[in-house]
Each structure stands twice: as structure tokens, then as C-alpha cells.
Amino acid sequence: MKTVLIDYGAGNLHSVYKALLKAGLEAKRSADPALAAAADVLVLPGQGHFRQVMEAFLSSGFEPVVRRHLARGKPFLGICVGLQLLMQSSEEAPGVPGLGILDGIVKRFADPSVSVPQMGWNQFFSYGNPPLLKGIPDGSFAYFANSYYVDFSDSNPGAITHYGKTSFKSVVSQGHLHATQFHPEKSQAVGLKILANFKDIAQHVLNASVL
């Protein structure tokens, strides 16, 4: 199972790479779109300002690779801003379009009762039996570092997190497409279990596509 961790110049790549290996995913870190185009599995991290991250991603040459990968139903994992990039747009960078893979926008926390950015541990609560969270107790904690959150409605399995008066989607887990707003690589045993689940999901998706 050829797994590529996309290196487009943005993201906490070293920690993500180490966590993927520890979870059993023999990933290769690569800045080469051609290598990613031949991959079975793609992992897209992201960290920083939406405009800067999107511009780096677009100039890297990975955009058409990711779009084709998703269109073919191949396993994909987005992390933090790697989830936000899938949206249509972000309040952090008005006028800068996202990839539009998911029909939603990225909003800034507006509750004055909480600190922004959200930095540290918070709970997530699953619904719809998301495969990415298989075997993980509801209400488990993960590590967040975000001032913005994705806002969209769908009927697919996932998880929500509450921060002050705001409830937002913190996990997307639908078929071959999976993403987290939090950082699995910083979430200790829970994060490693999520990455191990993703490995199992990816193997299942790939086996099913061969049959």
C-alpha cells in the first residue's frame, strides 16, 4: 500500500510522519507530485494561515493530483488545515477559494467567552459510527490548535466538538475521505488509534476496488 505524506511546504510534517510509521503506515514524505500521483493513499497535513497554506499548495503542483486521487475514490486523510482546504472558502482569507471538495466554509470562533486560538485538549463526540473512530470511546480527548473551524452539514458519519458556545465538526469520515480538525500526531494513544484505523480503512477500500 503506497502511502505518501504530501510535503508542499506547510504542516508539521516530521511529527505526522513519525506518527504514521508508529501506526503501521509505511508512508513516504514527498514534495514530488508525480510520486503522489502513483500513491494508493494520500495524507495532507496543514498548519498556518489559510491564504499562505492554499497558495503553497496550489504552487506545489499537488492540487490536480489530490483532485484525481479523490475522484478515483482512493483513501485520503486531511489533518487540521488539510481539512479546511477541502472547503469552499475561509473567513481567514476572503476571496481565496478552497478546493471545494466539501460544501462548506471555514469560520472563526466568535464566542467571546473562550480564548482564540483553541490550544490544547478537547473532546470529540461521534455520530453515525464513523470508521475512523472505531474502538475509541465517545468523549475522548484530542489535541487542537485552531482559531477557525469547518462549518457544513451532511449526513455522513463524523464527530463534533464543543468549544464554548460553538459546536463544530472535528472529524469527517465518509467512504474513502477522512479528515480531522485536531492533530492525531499530537493526540497520543487516541491519535495513534485513529491513524491505525485509517490504515485499516485504506486497506479495505483498496481491496474492495480490486474485487
8 A C-beta contact, residue 163 and residue 114: yes
Is position 92 annotated as part of the catalytic site?
no
> Of 80, 92, 176, 178, which one is the catalytic site residue?
80
Is position 162 annotated as part of the catalytic site?
no
Judge residue 33's burial from the number of C-beta atoms within 10 Å of its C-beta, 0-12 exposed, 13-18 middle, 19 or more buried: middle
As a whole number of Å, the end-to-end CA separation of the chain is 16
> Of 69, 92, 176, 185, which one is the catalytic site residue?
185
Could you give the angle at the alpha carbon of 52 between the alpha carbons of 46 and 56, nearest 5°? 75
Is position 185 annotated as part of the catalytic site?
yes
8 A C-beta contact, residue 163 and residue 147: no
DSSP letter at 85 equals T
Q: All 3 cell numbers of residue 200? A: 485499516
Handedness of CA 42, 150, 129, 72 (dihedral sign): negative
Active site residue ranges: 80, 183, 185
